Structure formats: C-alpha cells, structure tokens
Amino acid sequence: MSNDSYEIAAEALSLAEARRGSLRGILFSLKGKSGRNWKSVYALAHETQRFHEVLQAAIEECSPVEELCEGLRDRKLWWLVRVLCYDATIGSGRKKVRSRKGSIARIVSKNANVLVDAIEAQHGGQWHNRNDLLGNGDDAKGLPRYARINLIKGTRERALSIYREEGYEVAVDEHIPNLLVFPSGTDLHSHETVGRGEVILQDKSSCMAAEAISPQRNWLVLDACAAPGNKTTHLASILSSMGSTIRPCVLALDRDEKRFQILKDRVKNAGAEDLVQCTRTDFLSIDPASKPFCDVKAIVLDPSCSGSGLVNRVSVSKSSDEEHVKRLDKLAHVQKLLLKHALSFPNVVIVSYSTCSIYREENEMVVASVLGDDVFVSGAWGLSRALPQWKNRGLENTFDESQMCIRTDPVLDNTNGFFLARFERAQPTPGQVLSVGAESKSPLAKQPEPSIGKPMPNLTKAGSGRKRRAKAWRRGIRP
C-alpha cells in the first residue's frame, strides 16, 4: 500500500468527521490527489469507517497505541492511526504498515499482534470473515446496495440482463421503478455499467426527492443545493424519459468549488450535459424574478443538515447536549431561509424539501414554522401527500399535517434515515394554509416558532429489539 494512500484516506475521514461532506463525496473530490491508488484509498477509508468501533475498542486495550492517540491534536493524524490499525489487523493480509509518518507506523506495526489479540478477545476467538466482527444485526451488516437506472443512457431491462448473466442477485425496488436492489456488500463501483454512466449508485432514500416532484414533460426544474449531483441526474433522467423538449430542463446550483466540480463531473458521466445547466452560486443570491429562474416550475431543496440519518456516517466527536442543540438551531435557521426562498419563485408549483436527518428540529419543525409564517406564506402554499404509497410518515404530535410528510428508517425501510415534505401551491382562503393532499382538506393550525429540544435517539443503531427476517434486503421490493 502506498504511503500516500494511508494519509489521503485519513484526510478524507477527518474531513467527513468535520462535517465537510459525505465520506463518498470527499473521496471523489480527492480522486485527482490519489491518482492510480484511488480505489485503494476509497476501500481503506470506507472500511476504516465501517470497523471504527471495533478498532477503537482494540486500541483501548493496547496502551502504546492508545497513548499515541492521546498525544495527537491533529485529527488527520488521529485518523491515520486508525487507518494503519485497520490495514495491520482486519485488512487483507494483516501486513506490516509503512507511512511517511514513520514513528506512527512503527508503533502500530510493533503492536499489531496485540491489537489482533484484542479484537479476537472481543469476539470470542479468531474470525473467519471480517463481517463477523460487526455482529449479527442487519444494520451492522449494512444496507442493501441500490443502483438507479440512468434512462438517458440505458434501460432497466438491459441492466437486469447484464447483472443476471453475470450471476448477481438483483431485484427491482417496489416504490421506485428504475431502482435496482442488490444484497448488502455488493461492490459495483468498478462495474462497466457504472463506469459508462448507465447505472448510478444512489441510496433509495436519496431517490425520493425527484420521485416526489413528479414533474410534467416540459417543466423547468431547479435543484437548489445540487452537489454531488445524484438528485440532479435523477431529475434529468426522468425528464429525458418523458421526452422533454426544453434545453436545459434542469438548473443545478451549488456554491462550493470542490463539490461543484463533482457535480459537473457526474452530470457529464450521466450524459446529461445538454439537459442540465450547472451554475456555481449561492441559492439565496438568486433573484426569483430573473431569467431563467422565473420560468422554474418545481424545486428540489435538499440543504445541508446534520446527516444524522446516514447509517455509515463518521460520527466520533462527543459534543455536549448544549453544543448539539446550538448546532441544530443554526442548521434549522438556514434551512428555513432556504425553504422560504424556494417558495418565493413566482411560477413554482411544487417544492420538495428533504434532509438526511432524523431530528424533528430540521424536519417537521422547519416545515411547521414556514407554513405557520402567515406574513410570508399568506395561504399560498400547502402540503400534498408525498409518495402516497409510502407507509412511514412524519412524526405525530409535531404539527397537524405531519402525516403528509414521509420519513425513512434504516431498521424498518432498509435505507438511510430521510425526511421529505412536498409543498404544493394552493388557492385557499387568505390567511389559511391548507393541506392539498387527497386525504385531508382541513386548515393547518398556525404553529409557534419551534424551540430546539434535546436530540432524538439515534434510530440507526442495532439495539432496537426488533427482529429481522432473513434476506431483509428483499423486503419492500419485487422480483
């Protein structure tokens, strides 16, 4: 393994921990820096993240390595220790590790056997498969692998034929017709269909925003916080399959330079360059009355959030309840500003608001606050029932129309934690906000500005007490 590979993997993990983006997105941004070793860096970072708790417990039983970590103030070096520990113990070969940070590598290599013994002691002896170290829960084994068909370049039938001929176990998702589902652990990153852009690796929950919009054929749709681009290319795929004749049919915005480059790369790989216009800018700086934004009919808004619904997200730092509450307060404030801005576009009739958070402060309370702002909304907007076939709805006792929203739960739904609300322009009596869904027409009670409460329990952990059926990845999908 290249010395640089260890350090780049550690850099990616430290950036993910600092909430600079998802680990996968950060790794893509470091692809040029990794060169030919990118696949090795990708695997190292993801596996170190996946086995972090196992590695941490082993380090605590190995005094020299634990003391080394306690003396490190640089989080990149802190993560470097864990990357090296992974490759020296759980990684294939359990080899002697080397790094340009020679003293760190020497301590890890010298104590590799002690670390292995500690891991074995945790799990009652030697392991035959490293996944055994993660326990028996489905969450530990990981979620199914989802792969979305890019209708700009391919078809579902062609992809299914290729995968089945090659012996893959694959099914079609029940709720999203062009989403394929594979067992957890299926690695498609180097598959030719992914390389050609015919198939895009995208979690099921992430696909729900574009599906909820349900755009008409020649709508112009705006993706307000577009990077890394999966929702953008999904919108382009849907509109292309409908025979959209307008160019571009998707406007994609993002303000971050590195993430914007990832967005452009993904749009190009998807063959969507003539369908999508990418612009590096802050969504809040856009004048809704200016061209081409005054012609937008629908907006996908998936703003920055806590990421608390992501099963595999790096989450190591221990913050106090007070710090956590302050952070949620800041996030919710920005989310409300973004949502109000989206609802101000003159010709927009549908807005999808979504987060990958489990916290009501970023979800139901943001929606309730914006809908309860009569000065701003003036009865022009309501909620329609997002994805009516989806059973898991918004949290009760948050606001009257919470059941119009949807939630996903890793344990119940085999996908990352996610929230979505579908706003639809309505024509109610001035001063009232109505639900415009098929199931409810009652006025939405005005809601006070929500206070930020204590965080909800982490729904992604395995100790929920629920028993899971065998082959859980097949639940909710059709063959």
Q: From the annotation, which residues make up the binding site?
A: 225-231, 254, 282, 302
Distance, in Å, from the CA atom of 72 to the CA atom of 79, rounded to the nearest integer, reads 10
Largest Cα–Cα distance in the chain? 74
Distance, in Å, from the CA atom of 428 to the CA atom of 457, rounded to the nearest integer, reads 37
Strands 298-301 and 221-223: parallel
Evaluate whether 88 touches 97 at the Cβ level (below 8 Å).
yes
Evaluate whether 382 touches 434 at the Cβ level (below 8 Å).
yes
- Burial group, residue 289, by CB count within 10 angstroms (0-12, 13-18, 19+): exposed
List residues forming the annotated binding site for S-adenosyl-L-methionine: 225-231, 254, 282, 302
Distance, in Å, from the CA atom of 173 to the CA atom of 211, rounded to the nearest integer, reads 13
- Burial group, residue 29, by CB count within 10 angstroms (0-12, 13-18, 19+): buried
Unique residue bearing structure tokens 């579908």:
422
Question: Could you tell me which residues come within 8 angstroms of residue 157 by beta carbon, excluding any fewer than 6 positions away?
Answer: none
Among 207, 305, 356, 405, the active-site one is 356
249 is catalytic: no
Q: Which two tokens stand for residue 118?
A: 């500690």
Distance, in Å, from the CA atom of 150 to the CA atom of 159, rounded to the nearest integer, reads 10
Beta-bridge partner residues of 419:
355, 407
Q: Which residues are catalytic?
A: 356
